[in-house]
Amino acid sequence: MLESGTDIRGCLSAVLKIVGHLGVLFSFTIGAYLDWQQLALCISAAPLLLFCTVLYIPETPSYLVLIGKEEEAYKSLLWLRGPNSDVAQELATIRTNVLASKNFSQRQSQMTGSQLINSLDVRTMNRLVGPILVTCGLMMFQRFSGAHAFSFYAVPIFRKTFGGMNPHGAAIAVSFVQLLASCLSGLLIDTVGRLPLLIVSSVLMSMALAGFGSYAYYEEVHRNQRIQNVMFHQTGQNDWIPLLCVLVFTIAFSLGMSPISWLLISELFPLEYRAFGSAMATAFSYLCAFVGVKTFVDFQQALGLYGAFWLYASISVGGLCFVVCCVPETKGRDLDEMDPNYVQSLSPKR
Model pLDDT for residues 129-149, shown as the tens digit of each residue: 888 899 999 999 999 998 888
Q: Identify the pLDDT of residue 345.
A: 45
User: What is the rounded distance in angstroms from the CA atom of residue 334 to the CA atom of residue 144?
Assistant: 31
Query: Which residues lie below 8 Å from residue 32, measured CB to CB, with a gap of 6+?
Result: 168, 169, 171, 172
Q: Identify the pLDDT of residue 154.
A: 86
Provide the residue type at 305 as one letter: L
Model pLDDT for residues 45-102, shown as the tens digit of each residue: 888 888 888 888 888 888 888 888 888 888 888 888 888 888 888 888 888 877 777 7
Where does the pLDDT of residue 112 fall: very low under 50, low under 70, confident under 90, or very high at 90 and above? low
pTM over 0.85: no
Helix axes 338-345, 258-268, angle to 10 degrees: 120
CA angle 335, 339, 341 (to 5 degrees): 120
Q: Identify the pLDDT of residue 118.
A: 56
The sign of the dihedral angle between the CA atoms of 220, 221, 227, 232 is: negative
Q: Which fold has domain 122-345?
A: Growth Hormone; Chain: A; (1.20.1250)
The domain segmentation of the chain, as residue ranges, is: 122-345
pLDDT at 155 over 50: yes
Least confident of 107-121, 266-280, 305-319: 107-121
Average pLDDT over residues 246-263: 90
Where does the pLDDT of residue 206 fall: very low under 50, low under 70, confident under 90, or very high at 90 and above? very high
Provide the residue type at 197 as one letter: L
CA Rg, the chain, in Å? Answer: 23
Q: Identify the pLDDT of residue 251.
A: 92
Average pLDDT over residues 22-50: 86
Burial class of residue 22 (count of CB atoms within 10 Å of its CB; 0-12, 13-18, 19+): middle
Answer yes or no: are the C-beta atoms of 260 and 194 closer than 8 Å: yes
pLDDT at 337 over 50: no
Among the listed residues 27, 107, 97, the one whose alpha carbon sits nearest the alpha carbon of residue 61: 97
Where does the pLDDT of residue 245 fall: very low under 50, low under 70, confident under 90, or very high at 90 and above? very high
With H, G, I as helix, E, B as strand and everything else as coil, classify residue 214.
helix
Q: What is the DSSP string of 115-159?
A: HHHHH--HHHHHHHHHHHHHHHHHHHHHHTSSHHHHHHSHHHHHH
